[in-house]
A = this chain, B = another copy of it.
């Protein structure tokens, strides 16, 4: 649930989105992409929650790992569908995690 990431530094991709109406294949593809992401080199974990707003944070060991995932062919196809059918707005922020604390 809370991703078990290694000590910083590492990287986070914060994907915040607003969905359009209807499923249109979204749920199945989102599940597939979560599975596929978890198999990519450099993947460290994910935290994902949706109400009206969706916030998904994925964690990676390098900017190169993020770039490779962004350019994965199946993921590129999902991104195209997302822009056309699933999201009215989204924002993707690429971040360097510099420090952390926890309970």
Chain A residues 1-18 with CB under 8 Å of chain B are: 1-3, 5, 8, 12, 14, 16-18
Q: Which partner residue on chain B sits nearest A51 by CB separation?
A: B49
What are 25 contact pairs spanning A and B, CB under 8 A? A1-B18, A1-B53, A2-B17, A2-B18, A2-B89, A2-B91, A5-B93, A8-B93, A12-B95, A16-B47, A16-B57, A47-B55, A48-B55, A49-B49, A50-B51, A55-B55, A57-B57, A82-B103, A83-B103, A89-B102, A90-B103, A92-B100, A93-B100, A94-B99, A95-B96
What would 19 more interface pairs be, CB under 8 Å, given A2-B90, A2-B91, A16-B57? Answer: A1-B18, A1-B52, A2-B16, A2-B89, A8-B93, A12-B93, A12-B95, A14-B57, A47-B55, A49-B55, A83-B103, A90-B102, A90-B103, A91-B102, A92-B101, A93-B97, A94-B99, A95-B95, A96-B96
